[in-house]
Amino acid sequence: MSAINGAVLVLSGPSGAGKSSLIHKIVDDIGKCYFSISTTTRPIREGETEGVDYYFVDEAEFKKEIEEDNFLEYAVVHGNYYGTSLKPVKKALTEGKLIIFDIDVQGNSAINSRLGEITTSVFITPPTLSELKIRLENRQTDNQDVIERRIKMARREIQRISEYEYVLINDDLQRAAQKLSLIAKIARFKKSNEEINEFVQKWEDL
């Protein structure tokens, strides 16, 4: 990927950890950024907006995009496809923006394999599994079977926490937001190998 001037911030963690709430709290404080909107085959939920929360497509359309290699990463989660389109990511990077991804552990691995040199990763989690279950039940968006699947997934995700540079325990939203804002600002200082090589060439100006 050429002309990279931006950086990447990956946020992962169990469903119910508070990732979306944290993003909304910091977005006005971290400068020029692009929040990557995933494409998904799952049904739209009440209160969600097409093109704001997700791009909602059917499975046939999603698989067509896979065949055309139009995803930076994609995965099947809870029986539905989720993926990140390449085109807006490339555009945002050339514009020097901080790209924020809210993705699962599989997506983090995929992005690191392609954009690792400019990627900062954060795993966001409640303090305990019991607290996560309470949050999932209190938001009243899933039935009990779905909640149990999310709990099972969370147990697997926590085993890969060492793959992340930062672990952010979201036990107090305001305090966690302050920490995440600081991490996001630091993430902007990461430079691609291309940018480093260009600097070295300019530095050797004799």
Q: Which of 61, 99, 98 is nearest to 83 (CA)?
A: 61
The boundaries of the domain holding residue 133 are: 7-179+186-199
Q: Which of 187, 204, 184 is nearest to 196 (CA)?
A: 204
DSSP classification of residue 1: -
In a domain, 109, yes or no: yes
In a domain, 86, yes or no: yes
Measured CA to CA in angstroms, residue 74 lies from 38, 85, 110, 146, 147 at distances of: 9, 9, 8, 21, 22
In a domain, 1, yes or no: no
In a domain, 31, yes or no: yes
In a domain, 116, yes or no: yes
Q: What is the C-alpha separation between 167 and 182, in angstroms, rounded?
A: 13
The continuous run of DSSP H or E covering 32 comes out as: none
Question: What CATH number is attached to the domain comprising 80?
Answer: 3.40.50.300
Burial zone of 53 (CB within 10 Å; 0-12 exposed, 13-18 middle, 19+ buried): middle
In a domain, 38, yes or no: yes
In a domain, 206, yes or no: no
Show pLDDT as tens, one digit a residue, over the chain (206 residues): 445 578 999 999 998 899 989 999 999 999 899 988 889 999 998 888 898 888 999 999 999 999 998 898 888 888 899 988 888 888 899 899 999 998 889 889 989 988 889 999 999 999 999 999 999 988 877 788 989 999 999 999 999 999 999 999 999 999 999 999 999 999 998 888 888 888 899 998 76
In a domain, 49, yes or no: yes
What total of structural domains would you count in the chain? 1
pTM: 0.81
Contact between 30 and 185 under an 8 Å Cβ cutoff? The reply is yes
